[in-house]
Structure 1
Amino acid sequence: MSRCSLFYISLLVLVLRYSVESCVQRHVQAQVPEKLQAGYVVSKVNLDHCGFRQLYLVSNDPDFAVQTDGTILTADVITVPDDGKSFWVLVQDQRGHKWKVNHKVLQRAKRRWSPLPFNIRENDKGPFPKDVERIASDSSVNYTIKYSIEGPGVTTTPINLFSVDSINGMLRVNFAVDREEYPQFIFTARAFDRYTNQEKDLPLPITVNVQDENDNAPQFSSPLIFSVEEQSNPGTVVGQVNATDRDEPNTPHTSIRYSLLNGTDLFAINYDSGLITTRTGTLDRETQDRYFVRVEIKDMGGAPNGLSNQGLASIFLTDINDNPPTFKQSLYTAQVKENQANVLVLRIPVDDKDLKGTPNWKAVYEITKGNESGNFLIRTDPATNEGLLYVAKPLDREKQELMKLELMARNEAPLVRSSSSWKKVPIELTVTNEDEGPEFSAPILRLKVKENVPNGTLIGTYTAIDPETKSSKGIKYYKVTDPGSWINVMETTGDLKVANTIDRESPLVYNNTYNITVKAVDESQKTGTGTVLILIEDVNDNVPIIPKPDLVLCSRDGQRSSILVNAVDYDESPYSGPFTFELSKESEGKWKIKDPKPGTSVVLEQVVDMPNGVYKVPLLVKDLQGVGEEQIVSVHVCECVKEGECAAQRISSRLGVWAVLAMLLALLLLLLLCLLFVLVCSTKGEKLRMTDEYDGTGGMLLKSNTEAPGEEVKDALLVTPGSGIDGGGAMEHQTVVGAAGGALGQQAIHAGSMYQGGTQGYMTNQSMYSTGQYGGGFYGNSSYNKFSDMSILDTWRTNELYLDNKLVYFGEEEDGRFAADLLKSYGYEGVGSPAGSVGCCSVLSNQDSLDFLDSLGPKFRTLADVCMSKTERGEQ
Structure 2
Amino acid sequence: MMRRSVGQRAVRTFLCAAFLHFLFIAAEHVKDASPSSVLHRQKRKWEWKEFTVPEELPPKSLPYLITTLKNTLSNKTTEFTLIGDGAGDTFRVNKNGEVLLLKKLDREKISSYSLKAQLINSETKAMLEEDDFIIQVQDINDNTPVFAETYSGSVNERAGRGTPVLKVLATDKDDPNTPNGMVTYKLLNGTNFFSINPDTGEIQTAVDTLDRETQSVYKLLVQASDTPGFQGLSATTVVTININDINDNHASFSKRSYHFDVNEDRPRGFNIGALQINDHDEKQNKNPTFTLDDTHKDIFGLELNENNDGVLILKKELDYETKAEYTFTVTLEENVVQPMDNRNPWTTAQIIVYVKDVDEPPVFSQAEYTFSVKEGPGNLIVGSVSARDMDKTSHRIRYSIQDPTSPVTVNSETGQLLLKTALDREQQQKYMFYVTAQEESTTAQKSNVKVTLNVLDINDNDPELASESEVYICENDKSGTVIGVIGATDLDENPGLFRFTLIGKSSNFSLHDNLNNTASIILTHGGFNSKSSEQIVLEIEITDGGTPPRKSIRPLPLRVCVCESDRRTSYCMAYSKSGITVSALIAILLCIITILVIVILFVLRKRYQKEALVSLGKSGSEIHEQLVAYDEEGGGEMDTNIYDVSILTSARADSRVGPDPLVPPMYAVVNKPSACKGDMAVMIDVKKDEADHDRDGIPYDTLHIYGYEGSESVAGSLSSLESSSSFGSDDDYNFLSDWGPRFRTLAQIYGSDVDTSY
TM-score by length of 2: 0.61
3-state SS of the aligned residue for 1:588? coil
3-state SS of the aligned residue for 2:88? coil
Q: Whole-Å Cα distance in 2 between the matches of residues 645 and 407 of structure 1? A: 92
Alignment counterpart, residue 431 of structure 1, candidates 355, 359, 362 = 355
What is the CA distance between 1:156 and its match in structure 2?
Answer: 0.9
Q: Whole-Å Cα distance in 1 between the matches of residues 624 and 288 of structure 2? A: 114
What is the CA distance between 1:578 and its match in structure 2?
Answer: 1.0
Aligned to 1:603: 520
Q: Whole-Å Cα distance in 2 between the matches of residues 500 and 146 of structure 1? A: 138
- Specify the code of the residue in structure 1 equivalent to 2:366: A
Q: Whole-Å Cα distance in 1 between the matches of residues 255 and 246 of structure 2? A: 22
What is the CA distance between 1:329 and its match in structure 2?
Answer: 3.3
Aligned to 1:492: 413
**RMSD of aligned C-alpha atoms?**
5.2
CA 426–115 in structure 1, closer or farther in 2 if over 3 Å, else same: farther
Q: Whole-Å Cα distance in 2 between the matches of residues 207 and 539 of structure 1? A: 120
What is the CA distance between 1:353 and its match in structure 2?
Answer: 4.7
CA contact (8 A) 1:293 1:314 kept: yes
Aligned to 2:121: 193
Q: Whole-Å Cα distance in 1 between the matches of residues 72 and 704 of structure 2? A: 160
CA 271–614 in structure 1, closer or farther in 2 if over 3 Å, else same: same
What is the CA distance between 1:154 and its match in structure 2?
Answer: 5.8
Aligned to 2:544: 623
Q: Whole-Å Cα distance in 1 between the matches of residues 415 and 391 of structure 2? A: 20
CA contact (8 A) 2:400 2:436 kept: yes
CA 401–138 in structure 1, closer or farther in 2 if over 3 Å, else same: same
Q: Whole-Å Cα distance in 1 between the matches of residues 508 and 84 of structure 2? A: 136
CA contact (8 A) 1:222 1:243 kept: yes
1:223-250 CA deviation, whole Å, 9 max, x = no partner? 4532222313322222223233343321
Matched, 1:467 2:394: no
Q: Whole-Å Cα distance in 1 between the matches of residues 379 and 682 of structure 2? A: 80
3-state SS of the aligned residue for 2:515? coil
Alignment counterpart, residue 510 of structure 2, candidates 565, 580, 592 = 592
Aligned to 1:507: 427
Aligned to 1:133: 67
Aligned to 1:523: 440
1:137-185 CA deviation, whole Å, 9 max, x = no partner? 23237x743334466666214xxx6553x24x34456787665566434
- Specify the code of the residue in structure 2 equivalent to 1:204: D
CA contact (8 A) 2:559 2:575 kept: no
CA contact (8 A) 1:448 1:535 kept: yes
3-state SS of the aligned residue for 1:253? helix
Matched, 1:442 2:369: no
Matched, 1:329 2:255: yes
Alignment counterpart, residue 152 of structure 2, candidates 223, 226, 230 = 226
CA contact (8 A) 1:163 1:172 kept: yes
1:236-292 CA deviation, whole Å, 9 max, x = no partner? 222223233343321233333322233222111112222211112322333223323
Q: Whole-Å Cα distance in 1 between the matches of residues 373 and 33 of structure 2? A: 139
3-state SS of the aligned residue for 2:117? strand
- Equivalences for residues 70-89 of structure 1 within 5 A: 78-80=35-37, 82=38
3-state SS of the aligned residue for 2:465? coil
CA contact (8 A) 1:225 1:313 kept: yes
Alignment counterpart, residue 147 of structure 1, candidates 77, 80, 86 = 80
Aligned to 2:182: 255
1:602-651 CA deviation, whole Å, 9 max, x = no partner? 2344555564444454332222357334423151534479869955479x
- Specify the code of the residue in structure 2 equivalent to 1:602: A
Q: Whole-Å Cα distance in 2 between the matches of residues 176 and 490 of structure 1? A: 117
- Specify the code of the residue in structure 2 equivalent to 1:253: N
CA 516–506 in structure 1, closer or farther in 2 if over 3 Å, else same: farther
1:571-592 CA deviation, whole Å, 9 max, x = no partner? 444xx2212222333x433542
3-state SS of the aligned residue for 2:52? strand
3-state SS of the aligned residue for 2:513? coil
What is the CA distance between 1:116 and its match in structure 2?
Answer: 1.2
Q: Whole-Å Cα distance in 2 between the matches of residues 128 and 558 of structure 1? A: 135
Q: Whole-Å Cα distance in 1 between the matches of residues 449 and 191 of structure 2? A: 80
Matched, 1:235 2:151: no
Identity across aligned pairs (percent)? 22
Identify the range of structure 1 (618-627 vs 319-328) with the bigger mean alpha-carbon deviation.
319-328
CA contact (8 A) 1:163 1:173 kept: no
Matched, 1:541 2:468: no
Alignment counterpart, residue 184 of structure 1, candidates 92, 112, 120 = 112
- Equivalences for residues 829-844 of structure 1 within 5 A: none
Aligned to 2:399: 477
What is the CA distance between 1:219 and its match in structure 2?
Answer: 1.7
Matched, 1:244 2:171: yes
CA contact (8 A) 2:302 2:310 kept: no
CA contact (8 A) 2:164 2:202 kept: yes
CA contact (8 A) 2:559 2:574 kept: no
CA 630–178 in structure 1, closer or farther in 2 if over 3 Å, else same: closer
CA contact (8 A) 2:361 2:446 kept: yes
Q: Whole-Å Cα distance in 1 between the matches of residues 302 and 680 of structure 2? A: 106
CA contact (8 A) 2:148 2:171 kept: no
CA 459–135 in structure 1, closer or farther in 2 if over 3 Å, else same: closer
Alignment counterpart, residue 309 of structure 1, candidates 234, 237, 246 = 234
3-state SS of the aligned residue for 1:202? strand
CA contact (8 A) 1:218 1:297 kept: no
Alignment counterpart, residue 204 of structure 1, candidates 124, 128, 131 = 131
Q: Whole-Å Cα distance in 1 between the matches of residues 523 and 84 of structure 2? A: 130
Aligned to 2:742: none
Q: Whole-Å Cα distance in 2 between the matches of residues 147 and 284 of structure 1? A: 76
Matched, 1:114 2:36: no
What is the CA distance between 1:135 and its match in structure 2?
Answer: 1.9
CA 287–537 in structure 1, closer or farther in 2 if over 3 Å, else same: same
Q: Whole-Å Cα distance in 2 between the matches of residues 644 and 401 of structure 1? A: 90
Q: Whole-Å Cα distance in 2 between the matches of residues 798 and 563 of structure 1? A: 96
What is the CA distance between 1:336 and its match in structure 2?
Answer: 1.6
Q: Whole-Å Cα distance in 1 between the matches of residues 680 and 303 of structure 2? A: 109
CA 113–814 in structure 1, closer or farther in 2 if over 3 Å, else same: farther
Identify the range of structure 1 (106-115 vs 809-818) with the bigger mean alpha-carbon deviation.
809-818
CA contact (8 A) 2:362 2:390 kept: yes
CA 150–509 in structure 1, closer or farther in 2 if over 3 Å, else same: closer
CA 555–396 in structure 1, closer or farther in 2 if over 3 Å, else same: farther
3-state SS of the aligned residue for 2:198? coil
CA contact (8 A) 1:377 1:392 kept: no
CA contact (8 A) 1:265 1:279 kept: yes
Q: Whole-Å Cα distance in 2 between the matches of residues 815 and 283 of structure 1? A: 130
- Specify the code of the residue in structure 2 equivalent to 1:332: Y
1:801-820 CA deviation, whole Å, 9 max, x = no partner? 89756654565469998866
Q: Whole-Å Cα distance in 2 between the matches of residues 620 and 547 of structure 1? A: 13
- Specify the code of the residue in structure 2 equivalent to 1:509: Q
TM-score by length of 1: 0.54
- Equivalences for residues 658-807 of structure 1 within 5 A: 696-697=622-623, 807=688
- Specify the code of the residue in structure 2 equivalent to 1:435: D
Aligned to 1:266: 193
Q: Whole-Å Cα distance in 1 between the matches of residues 421 and 273 of structure 2? A: 54
CA 249–572 in structure 1, closer or farther in 2 if over 3 Å, else same: closer
Aligned to 1:568: 489
Aligned to 1:671: none
Aligned residues between the structures: 570
